[in-house]
Structures are given as structure tokens and as C-alpha cells.
Chains A and B, each alone.
Chain A
Amino acid sequence: MWDTIFPYLLSGVSVGGQYALIAIGYTMVYGILRLINFAHGDVFMVAGIIMVYLAASGLPLWLCIPLVLLITVAVGFLIERAAYKPLRSAPRMSVMISAIGVSYTLQNLVLYITGGLNKQYPTIPWISETMAIGAAKTKVVTVITPFLVIALVVALVLLINKTKIGMAMRAVSKDFETSQLMGIKINNVISATFIIGSFLAGVGSILFFTNYPTVIQTSGAMPGLKAFVAAVFGGIGSIPGAVIGAFIIGIMENIIKGLDVILFKLGIIAQPVGLATFSDAFTFALLIIILIVKPTGLFGEKVTDKV
């Protein structure tokens, strides 16, 4: 039985790690701006496309990777400046619509550049190699993803707790107006948040697309939504919450894909019943359940509205 389940856990942990890196971007932005940055999943996709084109241009890969991260960060920064900053005093619905608009724009832009065809992601040496864990074989990237995620999260938590900008972020997420009055440069803090979020999405995209090596304009939509669900599940605003939520969702999703097999092995069903159909839908069911049962998520703090 363990041999049957193990491969699903393995791919679940790997994909969960990649969701986690995207989820952090969502949770940080939401923590500060109370905005679901619908375009974040597309930033992740754009990072993938940039890699494709940089590699195709003949640059060596060791140069491509930092360049991709740099450009992704720039994209994230520019999106915030162009599409969210002008709407800072507008109703939340307007900002959310703007986010949807940015997502739409990025997807269409990539559709135009690629001509609507899948692009093959370059093969990054070492992490693309196959290795064996027990009976299962997988890419090296699958194994290193969770460790890399944990390392990055630790670094991020240190950044938030020990540095000045981290302190400013915490202050702004607690009380936007007051921190502004206290002389915190709100725009810098927000930019920093977007830069960190985009950087992590860039790292996530390298890991994700090394595993599933084609990029198309819609590649970011589903991982983006799932990462958002992970952020809500973990308690939006909480970084460890987002990471744990992402791992749970990654694992559950893959278990669902393999549920037919597991039931089959247990002798409960004789033929697949198509439960894999619900692998995406399940994530959203989880979201709705958590919103109803515990709207603040696993680790979120309660916020009361003033009348």
C-alpha cells in the first residue's frame, strides 16, 4: 500500500512547495493591501516565458536564472506602480477589477508573443536529472523543492522579524493609516512586498516548469488560484500558514488523482470512477469549507469591523 501511495505524496510535496512560493506572494500582498492580486499567478507564468526566451536567445543558463528573477521582480514592481498605486484610495472592488485586468492583459500579451503555442521550457542541468527514491523515480527538482521552500521561508521570516523594512511591513499590515502617520513610507513597503512576492514566484516558476516543462499563457492561472486558496487556508497574512496550506493542497490534490487507484487496490471499485475529475474542484471545495468553518484560516488573526 505504501508503495502505491508514496509516488502521490512525493509529487504532492513537490507541487505543494511550488504553490507555497506563489502563495507567499498572495498572502503578503493581501496582508498589506487587502487585495487579492489576481495577476500574481500570471507573474509566475511570465517568469516562465521570460526564461524560455532568454534561453532561446543563447545566453548561458547560469546567467539566465538571475536575469529571470530580476526581470520578474521588475514586472511585479511595475504592475504595482502602474495598476494598483493609482487606485490606492479607490474602493476595493475597483482594485480587484484592476488586478483581473492586469491578469487578462498579461495573458493576452503572452498569447501574442508566443502566437498561442506552448513553449518548451529549457532543461536546467542537475535539477532536471532523474533520480530514484526507493521504488519511485523522479526529477531532482521534486526532492529539492521542499527544502528550498523551507530555506526561503526561514530567510523571509528573518527578514520580516529582524530588519527595518520587515518591521515596517508588519506595522503596515496591522494598521495602514496609522503607520502612514508614523512616517513609514507606505509606497516603499508595498513595493518591497511586491518585489519579494515576485521574486518567490520567479523561483517557484523555475521549479515548477522544470518539472512540467511547457509554458503557455494560461499556465499561471490554475497554480495561481490554488496558491491563493492555500493562502486563505493557512490564514491570509500568515506566511507559515500559506506554506502549510500549500503543502496540504498539493498533497491532497495528488491523492485525489490517485484515489481511484487506491480504492481499486483496496478492492472497493473495479473500474476507475473518474474522481480525478475533481482534482481541481476539490481545492475550491476545501476553500469554501474553510471559509465557512474558520474564515480566518488555520493561522489567521481575527479582524473586527468598526461600525
Chain B
Amino acid sequence: MSKATNREQVLRLENITMQFGGVVAINNLSMEINQGEIVALIGPNGAGKTTAFNCVTGVYEPTNGIVYFHGEPIVVNHPQGKMIKQYGGINGELYANRKPVAHTPDRITHMGIARTFQNIRLFKSQTAFENVLIGTHLRKTSNMFTATFRLNAKEEKANRKKTAELLEIVGLADVANELATSLPYGKQRRLEIARALATDPTLLLLDEPAAGMNPQETDELGEFIVDIKNRFNLTVFMIEHHMNLVMDISDRIYVLDFGKQIAEGTPEEIQKNPVVIAAYLGVDEE
């Protein structure tokens, strides 16, 4: 536990285990992320990184464990029903007396956690502008009738302005009216980030934001992530394979292998960690 302990804790995972049938995808993962940090989650393919994201964002309900967001438990679960017998993780009894808490992904987004996807999931029939505009929908105050009869013109105008600004910030203003899926790969990734920002998050989860980018684009992306973090006062939690990017911008790094956390620390510490080198970097070099 290093430099950031004095800051407010934004996200904390406590003993998260995710088991699909007999397969334990994440095994007793605990981690914390503090206000203003950029934290990276790394690990070989199939280590359970995206599953961890899905547990936080409500796509999956973890088999066991708690997720706190700004101190509030947003996910609580313990093995139930058939899973009690099948359970392959540890600490299964820890939360047995706590009432399970589960939210749908949209509720989680409401609370202020926004995400992007590993395999870009833009709204394919919509323009870049519309994609971002949809992100503003959840903060609306209008209802269906006022929206239909255009009684929410003021709000709509504000949302459009916000969208335009976001596109400007991510550098996509010139392609605002292009179909999202017709954009080049790098721009699609940026657009996904802009869309996530439109939901007014306090925590941004980025799932391999640099995947498929060349070194130059990756460098630019790094600067961009730091820039938006500062501009919107965000905390960033990202999964990434580009080690240069991870080492450049992360405050801390968690390393996952076969669902288990094998290391945690600053980039320098991780780079020197023999366990990581053996399990991960070594494998990766082949």
C-alpha cells in the first residue's frame, strides 16, 4: 500500500470470486482504487480481467465477495443454492449473513461507473454525434411525454452542446456526422471513451483502450487518458496489454493470473517482480 492511501477510496473489491459452473474465473480478488489514480489490471489472456470488469459493472453477478463504490456496497454476494456445494473458491462463508446486493449495469452507470469494451461496441447505425448523445440520456430529467412533445428543448440543447464539446475534446469534431462504424479503429476507441464520458462518470473503466493501435497512436492515447482524467476529475481503471502505455501512465498495477492476483504495486515494483516476470512477462515475450 503505497503513496495514495491518504486519498478517498473510489472502488474496493473484497474477496471477489466468480465461478461459472465448475470453472473459477476469478479467485478471491481484492483490490482498491483511490480518487484520481490510474490503475491498470494486467495479466495474460484468459486471466479473468474482463470478468473482473463485468463483476464491477453488473454484467455478471460474482459468486462471492463485495464491491464498494465510494464506500457504498454496490455488489454483495455469497454462494447460494447449488453453488454452496460446487463452490471452488475461498472465503465462501465470509458474507453468508449479508444480504446479496445486485444492480443491473444501467444502475451502476447511474452511480458513476462508465466503461468501454474490449471488442468495440458502438451503436452501429448511428453517427458519432448520436453515439455520444445517447450517453447523456441517463441524466435526463424529461419523461417520455415531455420528450415526445419537445417540452425538454432546453435540456436537449444542453445535451447537444455537451456532446459537441466532448467530441471536440476527443478530437472527433470533424467526423461528428459520420457513421460510428465507418471511422478508423483508433477513432472508434476514442469515440467509445467520449460516449462513456457523456454519462458523467467518476470512475472510468477502460477495457484494452489501445488494442490494435500502433506505437504512435498508443502514445497519444496515453496522453489523452491523463488529460481527460485531469479535466473531468476522474479515476481510471484500465485493462491493457501495451506495457509501454501501462508503465507510462499507471499509478499502480495489479497483476492477475489464472483468476488470482499475483502482484500489486507501482510500475517500477511490478517490472522488478520476479513472479510477474515468470508468470506473465516471460510468457508474453515468446
Contact = CB atoms under 8 A, between A and B. Distances in A.
A and B touch in the complex (CB under 8 A): yes
Interface of A: 304, 307
A304 B20 CA distance: 10
B59 A307 contact: yes
Nearest to A307: B59
B30 interface: no
B126 interface: no
3 contacts: A304-B20, A307-B54, A307-B59
A177 to B, nearest CB: 15
A85 B20 CA distance: 35
Interface footprint category on B: under 10
Contacts of A304: 20
The B interface, classified by DSSP as helix, strand, loop or mixed, is: mixed
Nearest to B105: A307
Contacts of B54: 307
Nearest to B20: A304
Contacts of B20: 304
Interface of B: 20, 54, 59
A10 to B, nearest CB: 41
Contacts of A307: 54, 59
Contacts, number: 3
A120 B20 CA distance: 56
Nearest to B60: A307
B252 to A, nearest CB: 26
A-B interface, 3 closest residue pairs, ranked by CB to CB distance from nearest: A307-B59, A307-B54, A304-B20
B10 to A, nearest CB: 23
Contacts of B59: 307
A160 B54 CA distance: 38
Nearest to B121: A307
B227 to A, nearest CB: 29
A304 B54 CA distance: 14
Nearest to B118: A307
A125 B280 CA distance: 76
A304 B51 CA distance: 14
A304 B60 CA distance: 11
B21 to A, nearest CB: 9
A305 to B, nearest CB: 10
A304 B59 CA distance: 12
A284 to B, nearest CB: 29
A307 B54 CA distance: 9
Nearest to A304: B20
A91 to B, nearest CB: 11
A307 B117 CA distance: 9
B168 to A, nearest CB: 31
A307 B20 CA distance: 14
A174 B74 CA distance: 36
B123 to A, nearest CB: 15
Nearest to B119: A307
A72 B54 CA distance: 49
A302 to B, nearest CB: 9
A227 to B, nearest CB: 32
A55 to B, nearest CB: 53
A304 B61 CA distance: 14
A128 to B, nearest CB: 52
Nearest to B53: A307
B97 to A, nearest CB: 29
Nearest to A302: B21
A240 B75 CA distance: 41
A307 B121 CA distance: 10
B80 to A, nearest CB: 17
B251 to A, nearest CB: 28
A144 to B, nearest CB: 43
A212 to B, nearest CB: 46
A307 B52 CA distance: 12
B63 to A, nearest CB: 14
A33 to B, nearest CB: 24
A175 B102 CA distance: 31
A303 B20 CA distance: 12
A307 B118 CA distance: 10
A267 to B, nearest CB: 45
Nearest to B59: A307
A304 B18 CA distance: 15
A90 to B, nearest CB: 15
